[in-house]
Structure 1
């Protein structure tokens, strides 16, 4: 087990994220003793495993108690610990809201991307889905048309903003479409982000347009049952 933990730790540090379907990652998610040893190994160097059961990947991040010692001396840390500028952060939040919010609703309802919810008597009992069967993609041209005038201009958004988000692993750009990257869902706190967007910014926009905001529990992702079969939380 020691060698497997050593291997998994090294791979996480080298790759920043790994898919939940990876054999060693799956072991860390279902084997309590293995997870305890992995957490101890990461904690010894100021890191922690980030595991969101709704996300298709796991990642490593700094432990909470070392954020200030590591980033406190940098002015960039006030906005982002990966050095994102304000316009990059703004575009990241927009993309997160357009991809992750509807994806989470489909996951909660055990509904795939092309499914209208009809004809599946046992859909609510299906394993939690990940990947492109629930995550939609954005047209890059449409995103540029809507937000490039606000964030600068088309060339700037493509060359400086989208390229940086792709480089960091938040998004993937393929064939003119923007897809969810391995870090988009796992590193951004859904509960915090969803509340601020749906009942804050989006709620104000809807109210000004004369529409009531969404119901308080419309996008609430419940915590997974601690006694649930771990296989129900992974592909």
Structure 2
């Protein structure tokens, strides 16, 4: 029975690409070590891995590192993103990630300090979420006003938002832009977060009106690779 459930969950993850952690078949990944290892083993046998972290409301699957080169081929373009996103869409993605995920993570870290220690019998602490916190929302009008000139204008932003929504990076409700199912799974927070917070992009996010001429040239050269969608973005191979 457990093997059938593991098989079904893997098939659903492959079919849907992501599932909410509240799903009745995802929940046993937290509480049942045998079931979890069964799922991970099945994914590994297909060259896949489970994408998860305690800050995301969803789980997803991605390519296992050991098969990525063979699957993606000789073209190294996939190193920056394997969604075939245009460069301005990658730049928009990074900005939205910074505006939606970094503040959320900071609130969750703060909330986690006040929480009781993780119960040791749970096999997958990575899947045990920090308690709910208010999640950031980005207003489309504010995004266009602050970053329109840097991101190709209103029309181009709207086109790229539709692309990001289709891939599951964001959700939209009227004028509000919110975190999508894979936004906190597909980009590497440990690698990208500090580069944004401490780099030129962080300066621009804090003060969108400032000119590039006002910021440190060395920092800009480094962050320009992020904005241009080079390897530094590190979108996970979904």
- Same fold per superposition (TM over 0.5): yes
Q: Which residue of 1 aligns with 2:187?
A: 188
Partners of 2:115 and 2:89 lie apart in 1 by: 39
2:53–2:185 CA contact under 8 A, matched in 1: yes
Quickly say closer, same or farther: Cα 1:203–1:176, change in 2 above 3 A: closer
Residues 46-95 of structure 1, C-alpha deviations (whole Å, 9 max, x = no match): 10001111111110000001111111333642431111121111110100
1:10 aligns with 2:11: yes
CA distance in 2, matches of 1:142, 1:201: 20
TM-score (structure 2 length as normaliser): 0.76
CA contact (8 A) 2:200 2:215 kept: no
Work out the CA distance in 1 between the residues paired with 2:84 and 2:135. Answer: 27
How far apart are residue 149 of structure 1 and its match?
A: 1.3
Deviations 1:152-190 (A, max 9, x none): 12111102x111000000000111110100000012111
Residue aligning to 2:211: none
Gaps in structure 2 of 5+ consecutive residues: 117-128, 207-213, 217-238
Displacement of 1:38? 0.6
Match of 1:19 in 2: 20
CA RMSD of aligned residues (A): 2.2
Matched residue, 1:38: 39
**Other-structure match for 1:128:** 130
Cα separation, partners in 2 of 1:150 and 1:202, compared to 1, 3 Å: closer
Which position in structure 2 is the counterpart of 1:107? 108
SS in 1 for 2:90: helix
Q: Distance in 2 between matches of 1:167 and 1:50?
A: 19
Are the counterparts in 1 of residues 170 and 180 from structure 2 also a CA contact under 8 Å?
yes
Q: Conserved in 2, the CA contact under 8 Å of 1:170 and 1:184?
A: yes
Residues 79 and 86 in structure 1, CA contact (< 8 A), matched pair in contact too: no
1:49 aligned residue = 50
CA distance in 1, matches of 2:83, 2:63: 12
Deviations 1:98-151 (A, max 9, x none): 01111111111118xxxxxxxxxxx81267124xx4211110111011122112
Q: Structure 2 CA distance, aligned partners of 1:74 and 1:146?
A: 35
Which segments of 5 or more consecutive residues in structure 1 lack a partner in the other structure? 112-122, 211-235
Asked which structure has the greater RCO (Cα within 8 Å, sep 6+), the reply is: 2
